[in-house]
Amino acid sequence: MGINERIVTYIKSLYPEMNPVLLHCPQFLGKEKEYLAECIDTKYVSYVGRFVSAMEDKIKEITGAKYAVAMVNGTEALHMALISAGVRFGDEVITQSLTFAATCAAIVHSSASPVFIDVEKNTLGLSPEKLKLFLLNNTRIVNGECINKNTGQIIKAVVPMHTFGHPCQIDVIKNICDEFHLLLIEDSAESLGSYYKGKHTGTFGNAGIFSFNGNKLVTTGGGGMLITDDESIAVKAQYLSTTAKQPHRWEFVHTEVGYNLRMPSINAAVGFAQLEYLQFILDNKRQTAQMYHDFFATQGIQTIHEPKDSQSNYWLNTLMFRNRNERNDFLEYTNANGVQTRPIWTLMHKLDPYKNYQHDDLSVSEYFDDRLVNIPSSVRI
């Protein structure tokens, strides 16, 4: 038996009920149907129903954030976080090239321009060293604002991403943001249940966001959440995402161009039911990660482990191959033989909509582009 055949056999043995074995398939193991039936029976299906605030409260309890605002998806939660925190037309926002396109879409939807900085080898997240070096070499502080010397524009915020659920060195990044007068908005879409030095990801900066897309640890079908300790951000995000309508029992007065982005109760019902057994999900995924680690060690293939000082949710397990050819052989074989695997997203600075924005040295991102592959990571029943 060849190595790829052995791997396919092993992965199939972990998920005997799935054919093909998908990358991340939702499992519904709690009161999802009961709560959905409650929405339909009570007719509370829009965002007015009890499950939206129940889910927001549960997320506050899990993360320790003071405020949580449920949205239709993670992309819009990030968009609302950026504009509610003060990102404006023409601003620049630093992020990583190794991310899902939604991070950049939210920045551009906020009328800002992304600037791409590299990730680091240990965490797969934004490199604090390269961030600091870029800021030292390319910016100056004028009247409390960080000005990009190359463009003359204000760099307003940094959006690091906790890749595949592994926390980046967010405390170091936070200190750099403070030094350079930058907002810190965490794209924690993938890291519900992940902690850095005992503190939940998404709670280190001005705001953080989660995604409850169908492929995440906890799903609402589609959904997202903004978390923050800053009351003004929470109030602004809630207002903007609820059509910017002034509260009144019958008058319709909108004071700004609003958005209609609040999560419906019917979606929150599913997510709330899932959050009730989040610990089971996290334990199950941690066990799978350990099993993969042990198995792939016997095959001479490196798995990505949670970084130092952190506890990862192991959203997507990841293999590192020695080169692009090995990576491609593996992708070919597994996808042709009933096991869904995929490389990391095409790097943002190589995509048509983002290729003309500024970027720094991205050699580590390119290194990972040649080598990393995600493998099936659903909760095992």
Chain residues that interact with ligand PLP, rule: CB under 6 A: 73-75, 99-100, 102-103, 161, 187, 189-190, 211, 213, 224
* Closest CB to ligand PLP among residues 49, 208: 208
List, in sequence order, every residue forming a beta bridge with 185; answer none if it has no partner: 207
What is the rounded distance in angstroms from the CA atom of residue 190 to the CA atom of residue 166? 9
Show the tokens assigned to 250: 């019958």
CB of 124 to ligand PLP, least distance (A): 11
CB of 114 to ligand PLP, least distance (A): 13
CB of 161 to ligand PLP, least distance (A): 5
What is the rounded distance in angstroms from the CA atom of residue 179 to the CA atom of residue 64? 25
CB of 164 to ligand PLP, least distance (A): 9
What is the rounded distance in angstroms from the CA atom of residue 320 to the CA atom of residue 302? 5
Closest C-alpha to 154, from 162, 163, 146: 146
Task: Tell me which residue has tokens 């993360």.
Answer: 63
* Closest CB to ligand PLP among residues 75, 148: 75
* Closest CB to ligand PLP among residues 75, 374: 75
* Closest CB to ligand PLP among residues 74, 205: 74
Calculate the alpha carbon distances from 15 to 23, 28, 135, 325, 381 in Å: 11, 15, 46, 27, 8
b/e for 87-123, b at 16 or more Cβ within 10 A? beeebbbbbbbbbbebbbbbbebbebbbbbbbbbeeb
CB of 170 to ligand PLP, least distance (A): 14
* Closest CB to ligand PLP among residues 73, 310: 73
Residue nearest to ligand PLP (CB): 74
CB of 343 to ligand PLP, least distance (A): 15
* Closest CB to ligand PLP among residues 95, 139: 95
